[in-house]
Amino acid sequence: MTGLETVTIRGMVDCWPNELADGELPNRYWQIVRTLPRQEKKLCHDLRLRGIPYLLPMEQRLRQYRRKGIQRFLVPLISGYVFTPSGPDDREDIYRTERTAGIIPVDEPVNLAIELHALVALLRFAESAPMVRPEIIPGKRVRITHGVLTGVEGIVRKRRGRCELIVNIFALGTSVSGMVDAELVEVLEPL
């Protein structure tokens, strides 16, 4: 890095309770909380104090300053959104944080839980830094067949013997990508 440069080095997940991202995600209720600008981490803190579970995909970045050296910081991967597996009973408590611009109800919570599970796996185990793609790129749907990402499905773009796996979050119309070995994927039938 030279000058004032920022580099994303890896993805991670902030969630409460901590076990939320370790196994299957709940699929009964999900809400997507649209936060006020730059309030994602503060909202998560407030949700934790209120006992409301949340999941916030993050990326760790390095920034080199001319006089301060290198600093590490965490920023939300999908700016402005926090996912919560809470039901309609928690809406009022979420709004009381005064950090919320709106709440998007999820019509298909099972699908969102599957997409978030794939995103969590991609952030934890991909070999490259995550890259958010606001557009959904057309391509082949694949499932990873070996390794720690076994079972994760996404859309793939081939690059020099490796695959760029794209995990879509259809409820927000966005996606996240990471690199995996090409021999670890199998092509699925189109939906």
Q: What is the pLDDT of residues 117-146, one digit of tens each?
A: 999 998 988 877 887 754 333 467 778 887
Give the model's pLDDT for residue 63: 86
The Cα–Cα gap between 32 and 99 comes to 13
Spans in the chain with pLDDT lower than 70: 1-5, 133-139, 156-162, 182-183, 191
If we measure between CA atoms, which residue out of 92, 98, 14 comes closest to residue 53? 14
Residue type, 70: I
Looking at residue 177, its pLDDT comes to 85
Torsion angle of C-alpha atoms 179, 185, 188, 191, degrees rounded to 10: -20
3-class secondary structure, 184: helix
Say if CB 71 and CB 16 are below 8 A apart. no
Phi, psi dihedral angles at 132 (to 5 degrees):
-75, 135
Q: Would the CA dihedral through 32, 38, 41, 46 be positive or negative?
A: negative
For residue 162, the model assigns a pLDDT of 67
> Nearest CA to 21 among 52, 73, 57?
57
- pTM for the model stands at 0.78
What pLDDT is recorded for position 46?
A: 98
Residue 11 confidence (pLDDT): 87
Cβ atoms of 77 and 130 within 8 Å: the answer is yes
Tell me how crowded residue 5 is: count the other CB atoms within 10 A of its CB: 11
pLDDT for the residue numbered 136? 31
